[in-house]
A and B are shown apart, each in its own frame.
Chain A
Amino acid sequence: MIDTLSEMFSYAFIVRAFIVGLLISLCSSLLGVSLVLKRYSMIGDGLSHVGFGALAVAAALSAAPLSVAVPAVVVAAFVLLRISENTKIKGDAAIALISTSSLAIGVAVVSLTTGMNTDVCNYMFGSILAMSKSDVNLSAALAVCVLILFVVFYNKIFAVTFDETFARATGVKTGIYNMLIAFLTAITIALGMRMMGALLISSLIIFPALTAMRVFKKFKSVTICAAIISVICFFAGIVCSYLYATPAGASVVIINIAAFLLFSAAGFARRRFRSKTFFKRGQI
């Protein structure tokens, strides 16, 4: 095992991918708790499709992928927020609207220019080889910013997630914090989708939060547990992907599914155990 690991980390590209992936999993799991509770679970899916469209356009213009994708996804996130706040179109419908539109644009651009090559395939399913050195530096810097902002505004993010009306009524600038959440999510997704793939990045947001909620009942415990689960699953997923030559994104998601099932069972057992002891005491 130690041998395998040291062999694995002797490849520079794996180390790079590993560092970025770890930071991305951490960011997405922290934001995921708030997004899942705000009923924005599918935002990851929607925004990653926007990212796909942007990457296709970037490839057509032969521009640097991240420099097109990050702004495009951030703009899409703000538009999404505005649509679901101000109009009668609900959050999930707005996400579907934006996601399918940009997927269509992306596919059209791809078929007009380069055609469906491996690059495009990589955007869809992710590849750890896709990360260049400058990508890694940018991703790491942005991911650290996301982490710091999340920690600094943790209490505000809780308030806006738990009861937005009350927060607004007592003078918390909810608009700013909603925008902050959208902004952090957008950056995390734009960075993560190159590695995890447009199709799998949303699972990084949803799974750790849902898994943690099976067992924990406090916002802080759920947040911390989600972060730990996400990091462990990412690590295990990358190792599996190396051992069995499976795609990185898919391996991480499969490990996440396993963790979810495990925690569901644990939560179920805990409830069962509690009600049983209660029953026994009642009988005596």
Chain B
Amino acid sequence: MLTLAKVTKKYGNHTAVEDISINMENGLYGMLAPNGAGKTTLIKMITTLLLPTSGEILYNGMNIWEMGTAYRDLVGYLPQQFGYYKNNTPTQYLNYLACLKKMPKKQVAGRIAELLELVGLSDVAHKKMKKFSGGMLQRVGIAQAMLNDPKILILDEPTAGLDPKERVRFRNIISALGKDRIVILSTHIVSDIESIANQVIMIKNQHLYQMDTVDAICNMLEGSIYELEIPNEEFESFEQEYQVLSARQESGHMLVRFYVEEEEGIPKNSVLCNANLEDVFLVVYQ
């Protein structure tokens, strides 16, 4: 079990995250927050790159800083900015990382082949990475994070820059990995985690805002999300009155999805909808 206990990180005077307490068991944790909310900061503390200004992070009750190597052996990490050597092939780079991870030499070649197969890069295993697309690099990133079969897999915005098809592919790979380990995945893209996260962690104003299952989080807004058809010309005034979450042009009119806090102000003919994670994101981080 991975525990964050009242973790705070300050960069000089600027507080990035404050007083965050979380418990994580095996499963997939989606960290959902907008740009600059402190996702990377939190992740870097969990990967021992940053020291918490206060509070501590424990793995099975032991401070991860004191565990040192023993802890890092359990970690697989895909940084937001995945660094690699342009002139290396995936195989060379994974070999080098296996060396840094001090994996037994005998296992390495087999493991690399297996992982490249998993992420669908077997046929470019010996091509230089400078010719790779963003999606291919991200897949090398996943493979590298999985090399040591980590108990804690941490992916910082792994889907940034991927096209929808790659994104789906990615989701499928990740969702399978969460069964017997802790997977932490940060993103500001709702669809990345909506269908696969066991728990969603939301950070707002430097604090932990909410941590729960997708359903439970969506239930927070139960009875507050409506849809209504309005004439095009009324849209502007409508937008001033209500918090519009989305609007779609339909033949001759608009279908708006909006959020209302109290029951009184709901316009006639509005249709009550089930809240989804996107609604929550837009409402919480309005």
A binds B: no
Q: Hey, which bits of chain A sit against chain B, CB under 8 A?
A: none
